[in-house]
Chains A and B, each alone.
Chain A
Amino acid sequence: MIFGYAGKFLEVDLSTQNIKEVRFSDEVLMDYVGGRGLAAKVLWDRLGSRWETVDPLGPENLLLFLAGPLTGFFPGGRICVSGKSPQCNGVVGSTVGGEFGVDLRCAGYDGVIVVGEAEKPVYLFIKDGDVEIRDASRIWGMNAKQTVAFLTKECRELLKKRYPKKGEWREPSILYIGPAGENKVRTAVVAAKWSHAAGYGGYGAVMGAKKLKAVAVKGTGPLPEVADLEAVQRLMQDVCNNAYESELWRRWGTGAAGYDVGAKQSSEPVRNWQEEWHDERSFGVDQFENRVWVKSYWGDFGCPTTCLKLAVVRAGKFKGAITDNPDYELQAYLGTNLGIFTPEGNVYLASVIDDLGLCGIQTGNVLGFAAELFQRGILTKEDLDGIEPKWGKAEAFAALARKIAYREGVGSLLAEGTYRAALKIGELKGVDVMPYAVQVKGIGVGAHGIRSEKDYPEVYSYACSVQGGDHTSVAFMPLDEPRSEHIRVFDDSGVICFFNTFGIPRNLVFDFYKAVTGIELTKEEWVNIKAMKIIQLQRAMLLLGGPDLQWNPEIHDDNPLRFYEPLPSGPFKGKTVEKARVDEEKRKYYELVGWDERGIPKSDFLKRLGLDDVDKALEKLR
């Protein structure tokens, strides 16, 4: 037996309403851990043989909510959401903060596997071993805040009625979708706590396709038994102590780094990446702290960093807007990338995006794309249903975001995400608009550019990532570097918060894993064998793709065209990335991860990892 797991997973078939418990062998859990790793394994085993035909938005797709053995123990609660991604047609491990993973494990489950598709809107309510599929027709259509309020009330009333002697019941932990997910918008999120989101991958659309509005869980048991409680407590304290020392990080959250990214490193998207620099006094987290933050520290279960903040606009035309910080990514994507340089405009737009259940990054990416087409006269006011998305006009972007969430008019086109929208607009207008689409394999690139080469991603990092433009999982050499996706996949499988690993030795994370599970794991074994298997599975499914799109690595293992234009401003003005260098680095990376010169995982490499079936499935691509 492996310690640290609840041991069971819940499987819910929404088509048949069948609910059962499933277990995985110790070997599978040891190899794939949980979260993203286990998601790749489950998806491959169940759908791999017909991957190209599985519609991410059809009943065949699986929707996975997977915790890991470290969830709840390693400070900072998260859960991983996955499935076949409607953005890249591969697999993305998309994690979201909150108490859901902890509550789920206290209920006795390490994860929930949702299959099929409900006839009418439903939500799942899990109270320990009692699992119900409940009617959600009254909440279908509700925004984030309404959904959370409704379910908090309804679930607490149910609990009170069923267990009258318990005393006051707390709220259940809830994952939900907003209108965007309901309308199968490819940039829709699975969200928690109003403003937390599993964004990359577009799993809100998968949830919406299944007519699953929410999952609410209340677990009353303890977290699973661990192998060595004393060691777990000691390591927990080490992680906390490290976090407590990081004053700026705690005080300003990821926004602290963002200031450097925009002003010093010059790698922050500005006006759809036409620039990557802004003056250091023009937009930074220092302007948010005293102006809009009403809570200086906000965090999820067990978190010592509490890097989140709560923002409320107190005055002016956006009065009443509420969101979290926004964090660096949304300061960039719903701020600078749209030419918005005021905390109020940024908070307002983020709150609109939260309420609609959209992804701030992906939606900010497609809004920036649309705005640049408008700037260039390729899309006109008429094309945009009367909306003029001029840089800096937060209300216009909010109006466009609403169109996207409800798939109204031009919104339906943009709801497909930047890449698919670019294909369609190119066709409609007879102009190649791909140069303005800043994405990799259907996924808008995170707000960390590569042109200045001062930020963390390398020139090949997005091009070779198994999660496309996802800035939280980039390709990097050597593979055992903290920023490499071979390391990051451990965090997403653990499932733990990456930000609480900042500044601690990597070995501590593996020691933590051992203290919880009782299983020895070295960084070398993880990077070269276990992570390598997960990465190969993700690569295989990404390349098999389908049904609407397939990636050809010779074309699509590349940067957005914009990254080959010289930076027009800032300290690195004129700097660009050379294609020849990207190709050279790519070749080195391919070699390191066992891919042939065309980017297809090599037969002998896969066989050595025991992935013979993957090898066979890839035969048709070779």
Chain B
Amino acid sequence: MAEAEKREAIWIARDLSKCSGCRRCEVACSLFHEKRIWPEASRIRVFMLAPGIEFPHFCAQCEDYPCVEACPTKALSVSTETGAVLVDANTCIGCGKCIEACPGKIPHMHPTENRILICDLCGGNPQCVRVCQEGLWNVLMIVPRRAHSFKLYARTPEEITRDLAVKIFGEEGEHLL
């Protein structure tokens, strides 16, 4: 695709505290990739470890891709076009080494197949962003991919929850988990 090559690589900026918990991003992601509404097979998963503290958890495309490094079968690669982590389903043995390597423990196993799920940026046209924007929640936004420290966004659900709880509930947030 000549046109796609010319396109600047993108990154999905995220403003987690505004997340409504609508999960339309999961619906869109799973419909796009699996042709089903399938929350557990969505590459973007909304965590709600406490009600009101919903946020989308998905790949941050770290600048040094620790998951790709960690894969013993080289099932993971970086798309030269989009910068997304690509999973070769045939090579992936479902060992979980990439999950361990990910600072945010973001990759997760496909619920029925022995392969890992990681956001592929929908080949450059992210469905989750489309629906999040459509609903004006604007948690997810497309920005050009620059040489930034995106790895800082790879955080575990617990870490994110802890901080958001205090941001949203104030002092009370410390006690709710």
Q: Which positions in A face B, CB cutoff 8 Å?
A: 72-73, 75, 99, 102-103, 106, 145, 148-149, 152, 164-168, 170-171, 193-195, 219-223, 225, 229, 233, 236, 240, 244, 294-295, 297-304, 306, 310, 312, 314, 320, 322
Contacts and interface: CB of A to CB of B under 8 A. Distances in A.
Given A167-B107, A222-B36, A222-B38, A304 B52 contact: no
Contact of A306 (B20, B38, B52, B57): B20
Contacts of B20: 295, 297-299, 303, 306
B113 to A, nearest CB: 12
26 contacts: A99-B23, A106-B38, A149-B50, A149-B177, A165-B94, A166-B108, A167-B96, A167-B116, A168-B157, A170-B40, A193-B48, A220-B40, A222-B34, A240-B24, A244-B134, A244-B136, A295-B17, A297-B20, A297-B22, A298-B20, A299-B20, A303-B24, A306-B22, A310-B168, A312-B168, A312-B170
Nearest to B22: A299
Contacts of A299: 20-22
Given A225-B36, A299-B22, 20 more contacts: A72-B37, A149-B50, A164-B96, A166-B109, A167-B116, A168-B47, A168-B157, A170-B45, A170-B47, A222-B36, A222-B37, A295-B17, A298-B20, A301-B39, A302-B22, A303-B20, A303-B24, A312-B172, A320-B170, A322-B52
A306 B131 CA distance: 14
B176 A149 contact: yes
B105 interface: yes
Nearest to A300: B21
B30 interface: yes
A72 B21 CA distance: 14
Given A310-B52, A312-B168, A222 B135 contact: no
Interface string B134-152: 1111000000000000000
Nearest to A299: B22
Contacts of B156: 168
A167 B137 contact: no
Interface string B88-111: 000000111001000001111101
Nearest to A169: B108
A304 B24 contact: yes
A75 B108 CA distance: 26
A371 to B, nearest CB: 29
Contacts of B172: 312, 320, 322
A302 B52 contact: no
Contacts of B18: 295, 297
B27 interface: yes
Nearest to B45: A170
